Amino acid sequence: DAGITQSPRHKVTETGTPVTLRCHQTENHRYMYWYRQDPGHGLRLIHYSYGVKDTDKGEVSDGYSVSRSKTEDFLLTLESATSSQTSVYFCAINRDNTEAFFGQGTRLTVV
Amino acid sequence: GIQVEQSPPDLILQEGANSTLRCNFSDSVNNLQWFHQNPWGQLINLFYIPSGTKQNGRLSATTVATERYSLLYISSSQTTDSGVYFCADYGGSQGNLIFGKGTKLSVKP
């Protein structure tokens, strides 16, 4: 257990509404990541952060933004949710640039 | 970027059987990890194994970095072993993990 908590765990939202997912870590790791998992695509990187206020885009960043105002929190925002963003979202940390640990996941459904 | 291939894609076992899962990489292995995604969707760390062999109970893993592959052994399988097994390594340009497509394991009682 690497002290990673995601919230909410499940969410159903309507198309066009903004949604924010939260990732909280308790171990002061520098690197944090947001992935999405979809059938047939595995886990793909959305955005990542290498420190407070330092973030960058991943492979599938369109339609998403992130913020990291504190070391322990990494927020993922869907500015205007679409059905294609229905997915399971995982937050991850990178311990000492070696082993990665994942949060429990957030199942998001956009209707 | 790095490509990760896992085999077999699906595996059905009777409880008590042994199995070997394989992971091949297109490039050098750096920080290989094995994960188990249980039926509830949680990603559980099994092994961090950039090289060599490790054992944890009924599970063991071997990585031969020079030949760019890793093996996960499951002995005396139990129904609780069911789920999807992923291998991954750091190969993305952003220092992110690149995952294989996984091996879906079903253990029947």
A2-41 pLDDT, tens digit per residue, is: 799 999 999 999 999 999 999 999 999 999 999 999 987 7
Q: How many CB pairs under 8 A join A and B?
A: 50
Q: Is the pLDDT of residue B82 over 90?
A: yes
Q: What is the CATH number of the domain that holds B21?
A: 2.60.40.10
Q: Is the pLDDT of residue B11 over 90?
A: yes
pLDDT, residue A97, reads 72
pLDDT tens per residue across span A76-111: 999 999 999 999 999 999 887 788 999 999 999 999
Residue pair B2/B88 in contact by the 8 Å Cβ criterion: no
Per CB-CB distance under 8 Å, the chain A contacts of B96 are 33, 35, 45, 48, 58
pLDDT, residue B29, reads 86
The Cβ-side half-sphere exposure at A3, using a 13 Å CA radius, reads 9
For A34, the closest chain B residue by CA position comes to B96
CA separation for the pair A80, A64 (Å, rounded): 9
* Maximum pairwise Cα distance, chain A: 39
pLDDT tens per residue across span A21-31: 999 999 999 99
Domain boundaries, chain A: 4-110
Per CB-CB distance under 8 Å, the chain B contacts of A97 are 31, 95
pLDDT, residue B69, reads 96
Residues of B with CB under 8 A from a CB of A: 31, 33, 35, 41-43, 45, 48, 86, 88, 92, 94-97, 99-102
Q: Is CATH 2.60.40.10 the classification given to domain A4-110?
A: yes
Please give the tally of structural domains in chain B: 1
Per CB-CB distance under 8 Å, the chain B contacts of A48 are 94-96
pLDDT, residue B30, reads 86
Domain that holds residue B26: 4-108
Q: Is the pLDDT of residue B95 over 80?
A: no
At B38, which amino acid appears? Answer: N
Phi-psi region of A51 (alpha: psi -120 to 50; beta: other; left: phi over 0): left
For B36, the closest chain A residue by CA position comes to A102
Q: Which of A45, A48, A90 sits opposite B43 (nearest CB)?
A: A90
User: Token pair for residue A106?
Assistant: 């957030």
Residues 6+ apart with CB under 8 A from B52: B62, B63
Predicted confidence band of residue B92 (pLDDT cuts 50, 70, 90): low
* Mean pLDDT in residue range B69-95: 91
* Mean pLDDT in residue range A60-83: 97
* Mean pLDDT in residue range A48-74: 95
Separation in Å, CA of A46 to nearest CA in chain B: 10
* Mean pLDDT in residue range B51-70: 96
pLDDT, residue B71, reads 98
Beta carbons of A42 and B101 less than 8 Å apart: yes
User: Cα-Cα-Cα-Cα dihedral of A43, B98, B57, B107, to 10°?
Assistant: 40
pLDDT, residue B81, reads 96
Mean pLDDT estimate for chain B: 93
Report which secondary-structure segment, H or E, holds B30: none
Residues 6+ apart with CB under 8 A from B67: none
Q: Helices H, strands E: what count in chain B? A: 0, 11
Q: Which of A42, A88, A98 sits opposite B31 (nearest CB)?
A: A98
pLDDT, residue A39, reads 87
